[in-house]
Structure 1
Amino acid sequence: MRIVAAMSGGVDSAVAAARMLDAGHDVVGVHLALSQSAATLRESARGCCTIEDAGDARRVADRLGIPFYVWDMAERFRADVVDDFVSEYQAGRTPNPCLRCNERIKFAGLLDKALALGFDGVATGHYAQIVETPQGRELHRAVDPAKDQSYVLGVLTADQLAAAHFPLGDTTKPQIRAEAAERGFAVAKKPDSHDICFIADGDTRGWLTERLGEQPGPIVDTDGEVVGEHAGAYGYTVGQRRGLGLKVPRADHAKRYVVGVEPQRRTVVVGTADLLGVDLIEADRLRWCGAAPEGEQAYGVQLRAHGEELPGRARVDEQGRLVVRLAERTRGVAPGQSVVLYAGTRVVGSGTITGARRADRDASES
């Protein structure tokens, strides 16, 4: 097969490209230029897509003896990922830009362009597995639970999975680094990128303030009493405890968390930890990694990229929304986050959370 290997300049995508070549495929390396003003060097382990990263990817391609190209997708990345990130926070939601990037850039923009140019598929360095079945390809968790990235791939459709390749899913990260060293790749010891790639210093609130300006307002408790002030409700997310700067402590000195963000009123609501527990979640923008499931079924439910899998049941209601009921309450579920459903290790699909609350257990069990 003719394969485009997405090469970020890191160790994972380097080994992924090498493994596809070893498997006998005709491989072309492609680095995505996602920044309209790419930095020359990384500031830290955060971030990616610097000129340094492009150079690292090119050196790996040269060592492998494969063609290498840089595809400029900066404008599309800004519109589909960065601008979406800003507008979601401005609306009081907490987005996951990695899912949006996979959905709209790597497996829409990149894959669509590759197929249009006559390639058969795209290979990436994601830690996940593709399993061939009589019903079609399935997306499964990686064998290394510490590196599993199936959550951020839960936005892929069956058609996209048909042309996707994840050659690292059966290997642990230490093994990948050892293999890179054996192959003579200079990136073998290169630090992993993490957090949000386009916020290199990790200061999300400061980054948002630069783009949205200060929008001061009150921080109130659940009784409506003003207990602090903020410079922008967009800088807060449900479940947050640090950085609140509250001026009025509770009489019992209990810790308080963000329990609500109301950007229209420029208000942040705080409360005690017991108010964060929810077990009923609703989501829209559904994406199925195969045929859409029918009726209500039991699933494993994951709410964060590195969160634990929770038992629950889910169904699609008459309005086309995903309704998930967890077996136990969990904390810090915010609108804008993604909920991904699993059947064993198989990824069933995902949705974007629109709301979360406590189910009326007493009424349902009486």
Structure 2
Amino acid sequence: MRVLAAMSGGVDSAVAAARAHAAGHDVTGVHLALARNPQTFRTGARGCCTLEDSRDARRAADVIGIPFYVWDMAEQFKADVVDDFVAEYAAGRTPNPCLRCNEKIKFEAVLDRAVALGFDAVVTGHHARLGADGLLRRSVDEGKDQSYVLAVLTREQLDRAVFPLGDSTKARVREEAAERGLAVADKPDSHDICFISDGDTQGFLQRQLGDAPGDIVDGRTGERLGSHNGAYGFTVGQRKGLDLRVPAADGRPRYVLSITPVTNTVTVGPREDLEVGVVTASKVIWHGESTSVECDVQLRAHGEVYPATVTIEGDTLTARLTSPARGVAAGQAIVAYQRSADGDIVLGSATITASAPLATARA
């Protein structure tokens, strides 16, 4: 099989490419240049799109013995991931840029170009598995599992995807990299958001959107408790950084309950007011055979899993949780999993649009 290996410059994608090559596939490596400034360079990996990462990917390809190219996708990355990230926060939602990058860049733009060039599939270093039935499953290393951010992929995209690392732990991947002589064996994992080099998301958004002063109010009484310079700087479930001028009568901490862009208002309240029992979502990608199923749902990357009843009606997914979840933010993905003896199977995903309190769910 002729495959294109997406090589970020990290250990996972390097070992994935090496395994594909060792399996007898005709492998070509490609690094995606996503930074608009080609001179971007950071010591130590925060992301996966620096000049340093490109050089690491090229060295790995040389060791493996495969052709290597760099594809400039900076403009598309900015439009589909960075601009989307900013727009979602401006609209009061909390996006997941890694999920959007997988959807729009790695498994849409890259896969489309790969197929046009005659490749059969795209290989990546994601920690997830594709079973013999073609269904996406969690990695055996649940601590590194990335099926949540891959659940947005369509059936057609999964049919042309190869995930060689899903049956290995991260520790084993690093050991194998060292055995193969790959210099990235001990390279730190990427973390945070790759296009925010200093890790200051609020500062990045402020530079993009400017100051937008508004009120912070009590969700139960409507009392004004403080002010902010931009509602985009908050997310549902947030506790730190509220800078409230009026202390709570009971002395307990307060959390962000909701964000209303129309009035530029951030609403806060006690922790129990974060509890929700019904989650509604749109942009549904569904692989399950039934449109009404008892399953588990995950509401954030590496977040807690909740038993639920999920129903699909048109392009709307509704999940009724059997126990309350907290900090459910619009813009995040809800991913449904079916337990099986061969690992949790991804039934589908959707983008969260709204949630209802537990009391509403029981009504």
TM-score range for the pair, normalised by the shorter chain length: over 0.9
Deviations 1:88-119 (A, max 9, x none): 00000001011111111000011110001000
Q: Structure 1 residues 31, 295: closer, same or farther in 2, change over 3 A?
A: closer
Distance 1:38 1:166 in 2: 29
Distance 1:67 1:249 in 2: 62
Q: What residue identity is the alignment partner of 1:342?
A: Y
Distance 2:358 2:298 in 1: 18
**1:141 and 2:138 equivalent?**
yes
Aligned to 2:255: 257
Correspondence list, 1:9-158, <5 A = 9-42=9-42, 44-133=44-133, 137-158=134-155
Aligned with residue 322 of structure 2, among 318, 327, 330: 327
**1:219 and 2:222 equivalent?**
no
How far did 1:308 drift? 2.0
Aligned to 1:357: 356
**1:271 and 2:269 equivalent?**
yes
Distance 1:74 1:41 in 2: 15
Q: Structure 1 residues 272, 141: closer, same or farther in 2, change over 3 A?
A: same
How far did 1:295 drift? 3.7
Aligned to 1:343: 338
List alignment gaps of at least 5 residues for structure 1: none
Distance 1:178 1:40 in 2: 29
Q: What residue identity is the alignment partner of 2:262?
A: Q
Q: Structure 1 residues 281, 39: closer, same or farther in 2, change over 3 A?
A: farther
Deviations 1:52-99 (A, max 9, x none): 100000001111111000011111110011100000000000010111
Aligned to 1:308: 304
How far did 1:44 drift? 4.6
Q: Structure 1 residues 59, 153: closer, same or farther in 2, change over 3 A?
A: same
Distance 2:23 2:60 in 1: 17
Distance 1:115 1:304 in 2: 32
Structure 1 vs Structure 2 CA RMSD? 1.3
Secondary structure in structure 2 of the residue aligned to 1:89: helix
Deviations 1:330-361 (A, max 9, x none): 10001101000001111011000000112546
Secondary structure in structure 2 of the residue aligned to 1:118: coil
Q: What residue identity is the alignment partner of 1:334?
A: A
- Asked if the contact 2:9/2:54 (under 8 Å) is kept, the reply is yes
Q: TM-score, normalised by structure 1?
A: 0.95
Distance 2:259 2:131 in 1: 41
Secondary structure in structure 2 of the residue aligned to 1:264: coil
How far did 1:294 drift? 2.9
- Asked if the contact 2:277/2:360 (under 8 Å) is kept, the reply is no
Deviations 1:298-318 (A, max 9, x none): 01100111112211110013x
Q: TM-score, normalised by structure 2?
A: 0.96
Q: Structure 1 residues 207, 362: closer, same or farther in 2, change over 3 A?
A: closer
Aligned to 1:160: 157
- Asked if the contact 2:278/2:361 (under 8 Å) is kept, the reply is no
List alignment gaps of at least 5 residues for structure 2: none
- Asked if the contact 2:296/2:308 (under 8 Å) is kept, the reply is yes
Distance 2:126 2:65 in 1: 22
How many residues align structurally? 358
Q: What residue identity is the alignment partner of 2:316?
A: R
Distance 1:29 1:35 in 2: 19
**Runs of 4+ with >4 A deviation:** 359-364
**1:207 and 2:204 equivalent?**
yes
Identity of aligned residues (%): 59
- Asked if the contact 1:29/1:68 (under 8 Å) is kept, the reply is yes
Distance 2:278 2:145 in 1: 26
- Asked if the contact 2:12/2:126 (under 8 Å) is kept, the reply is yes
Correspondence list, 1:272-311, <5 A = 272-288=270-286, 290=287, 292-311=288-307
